Structures are given as C-alpha cells and as structure tokens.
C-alpha cells in the first residue's frame, strides 16, 4: 500500500474501530444486562413513586395531583394511571392498553416499547389492578448518534467524512512532493534552470528547506555544466588554429621530404583531418547543448531529406559492397533542416560503417499517430543490451577502440540525440530481430 491517501484513510478507520471496540467492552462490562432487557430500575421506581403520590392526593386537590403526573421539563415522561382500559388519572395515552397488557405479562411487571416515542408501563405494587403508563418525549435528533437503527447511516457518514478528510490531507501533504518530483524530472531531462522554492507556497518548513537545498544544488550543477561546455567550446576553438598551421607545415614538409617519408606524412595528414573533424563535431555538440528548444522553423520534407543522404552513404559503402535502401512516405516536420540532415546522416553513416560487407542498410520514413518515424537498421554485430542507452553519450565506446578502428569519433549519435530532442522528438536504439542495430527517430509532424 504505497498511496499516502490510502495509508491515512486506513489509519483513521483503524483508530475508529479501536475506539468503538473499547466502547463496546466498557458497555458490556460496566452496564448490567438487565438495563438492556427492559425499562431501567431507576425509571420504573420514578414512575411508581409519581403514580402513587398522585393517587394519595386529597380528593379535592385534583389540579395539584395532575401536576405530579406531568413532566417537569422536556426530558421527563408524562404519566397516566390506568385500571385496565379505564383512565384513572392523567391524560389519555395512545397505545396504553397494549403496553399495559405487556407489562402485566412480564415477571417484573414492567414493559418498554420504543418507536417514535418511548412508552413505559409499570404495574403498581400497592394496587396490582392499577398500572402507570408513561409516554416519553418525541425522540431527540441526537438519537441518530446512539440508536442502533441508524448504525448503517452513521457508518456511511464516517466513511464519507474520513475519506474526504484523508483525501484533502493527502493532497496537501503530497503537493510539495509533486513539485519536487516534477523538478527532478526536468533536471533529469537536462533543464538545470528549474527552481522549486517559489512553487512550494505554504508547505511545511522542512519541505521548504529541502526545496532551497534543491535549488542550490541545481544552480551549482548548472554552473559546473556551463563551465564544462564553455571549456569544451573554447578549447575546440583554440585547437583549430594550431591544426590549420599544422596542415600548412605538413604540405611544406611534403614538398621537401624524400619519397620514403611519404607514408608517414600521409598518416599524419589523416590523423590531422580526423582531429579536425572531431573538433568540428565538438563545436556542433556544444552549440546543440546550449541551444533552446526549436519552437518553430521551416517546413522540412523528411523523404526529400533522406534521399540525398542515402546517395552519399552508397558512395561511402561502395568499397564494401554495402547498399542503402530507402522506403519513404511523404512526411513533413517543422524545424532546422540542416540540423535534422546532420542528425539523420550520422545515423545512416554509422549503419554503413558497422554493417558487414555486402549487406543492406534499411531506411524507412513513415507517419504513425501524428508523428514521423525514421527507422535505420544496419546488418552489424549489434550492441550489448546494457549499452543501448549509453551509445548516445559523447565518446562512449561499446568496445575498446571499436569506433576508432572504424573511423568514428564517438560524437555522431550524441549530436543526433540532442538535435532530435531540440525538435521535440526522441531517439531509441534496440537490437533488431535477426541481428543488427535499429535506431528509431521520432519527430512531431507539422500541423
């Protein structure tokens, strides 16, 4: 039972059950049983005394004798004296004959009947032919609280009230937790600018203190991430100039170097170009990480975007006999066409790079349930299940030197993921049935 509302509700119900149980024990132990089986002895005694006092009144004192039988206040019974069906003293009482007969049939000479009013009959010891019949006041509204016939209604009221109170209390207690949970979810998605203190409102002091600590933590993490991005961007910019000078120097050396040095110079040139490409991708990644979400943009036809990418990939995979096949339906999204082209190109080129020689790379563009889907499947070795989510991290290697041996920089998929996220989409990787890796890019269709 993980719901706070259910815990509060069950706790309140359990408390009331314990209280009712204790009341039942006290009632059973402390109150004699005969009080539940008929009129209470105290009531019987009072009715008997009032009736006999009225009967002993002088013959000429009719008014004062009648007053003895009348109630003193609203809590008292009104008493009349009967001999059979004959009214001796007091005012007539409806149902007096039946309750009187019931009293005479019982060993104690007393009977009690409770309907809308209470009727009590007591056979007088001084003259068994006489019976005192008392009618109680109209039943008090407070009888709803103590009467057994209203027990189902009381239980219903208890359930409704405790349920409403528990629900309100649970909402009040969990609202700050919902705010904190939403903030942590945004932080997990990369939004480090979120702050929760202004939204906590009238929460308790401990929760507000936790919110302040969380804001301080988010601010500190944001500063660290920004400094990291700034360092990465600055270093990448600074490396561009030495690399340019290195390329010029390499050409000068190549002109004067003997022929046997040419292979070494070619290797230096390849590594320089690779380093230059890596720096370019780092700059792109840095720009994507610092960019905000793309709210609008130009209309982009994904089918028209994928076709030239596939043609370039076919040229790249020609040496290995790898062919890229495209199956596309018209899909239009809004966004940055160049950014989307780069995102798709990175995925397709990776698929060509890791596919087996002579294999076919499948690229499918479809529209499903209001979103555009781009599926790219290679025919390579796939990725271990524990690494499927990590391949989008910059420089992450599934195997040691795997990307380097294939000529990759380890940044392409990171660029793809961030570019798609900026367009409000998602990227998912999974191992396809029959082998190979399949990447699914999902983007919202243009309205």
Catalytic residues: 237
Burial class (CB in 10 A: 0-12, 13-18, 19+), 374: buried
Assigned token pair, 356: 């087996």
Please name which of 355, 347, 359, 348 lies closest in space to residue 312, comparing C-alpha atoms: 348
Please name which of 295, 298, 325 lies closest in space to residue 310, comparing C-alpha atoms: 325
């Amino acid at each position: 039972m993980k719901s706070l509302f259910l815990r509060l509700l069950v706790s309140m119900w359990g408390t009331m059950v314990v209280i009712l149980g204790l009341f039942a024990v006290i009632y059973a132990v402390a109150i004699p049983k005969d009080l539940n089986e008929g009129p209470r002895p105290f009531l019987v005694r009072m009715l008997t005394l009032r009736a006999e006092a009225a009967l002993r009144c002088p013959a000429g004192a009719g008014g004062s004798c009648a007053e003895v039988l009348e109630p003193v206040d609203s809590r008292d019974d009104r008493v009349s004296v009967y001999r059979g069906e004959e009214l001796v003293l007091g005012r007539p009482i409806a149902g007096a004959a039946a309750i009187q007969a019931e009293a005479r049939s019982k060993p104690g000479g007393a009977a009690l009947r409770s309907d809308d009013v209470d009727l009590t009959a007591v056979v007088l010891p001084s003259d068994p032919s006489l019976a005192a019949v008392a009618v109680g006041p109209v039943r008090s509204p407070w009888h709803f609280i103590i009467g057994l016939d209203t027990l189902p209604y009381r239980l219903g009221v208890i359930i409704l009230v405790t349920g409403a109170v528990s629900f309100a209390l649970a909402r009040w207690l969990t609202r700050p937790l919902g705010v904190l949970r939403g903030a942590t979810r945004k932080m997990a998605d990369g939004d480090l600018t979120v702050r929760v203190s202004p939204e906590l409102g009238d929460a308790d002091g401990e929760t507000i203190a936790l919110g302040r600590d969380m804001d301080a933590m988010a601010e500190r993490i944001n500063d660290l991430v920004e400094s990291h991005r700034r360092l990465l961007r600055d270093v990448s910019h600074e490396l561009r100039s030495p690399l340019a000078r290195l390329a010029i120097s390499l050409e000068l050396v190549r002109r004067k170097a003997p022929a046997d040095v040419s292979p070494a110079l070619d290797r230096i040139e390849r590594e320089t170009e690779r380093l230059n490409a890596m720096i370019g991708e780092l700059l792109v990644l840095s720009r994507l990480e610092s960019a905000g979400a793309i709210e609008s943009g130009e209309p982009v036809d994904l089918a028209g975007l994928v076709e030239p990418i596939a043609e370039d990939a076919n040229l790249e995979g020609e040496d290995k006999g790898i062919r890229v096949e495209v199956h596309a339906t018209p899909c239009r999204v809004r966004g940055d066409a160049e950014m989307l082209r780069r995102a798709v190109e990175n995925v397709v080129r990776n698929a060509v790079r890791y596919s087996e020689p002579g294999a076919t790379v499948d690229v499918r563009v479809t529209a499903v349930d209001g979103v555009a889907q781009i599926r790219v499947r290679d025919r390579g070795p796939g990725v271990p299940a524990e690494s499927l989510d990590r391949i989008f991290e910059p420089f992450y290697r599934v195997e040691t030197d795997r990307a380097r041996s294939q000529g990759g920089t380890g940044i392409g998929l990171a660029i793809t993921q961030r570019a798609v996220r900026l367009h409000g989409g998602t990227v998912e990787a999974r191992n396809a049935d029959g082998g190979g890796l399949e990447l699914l890019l999902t983007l919202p269709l243009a309205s």
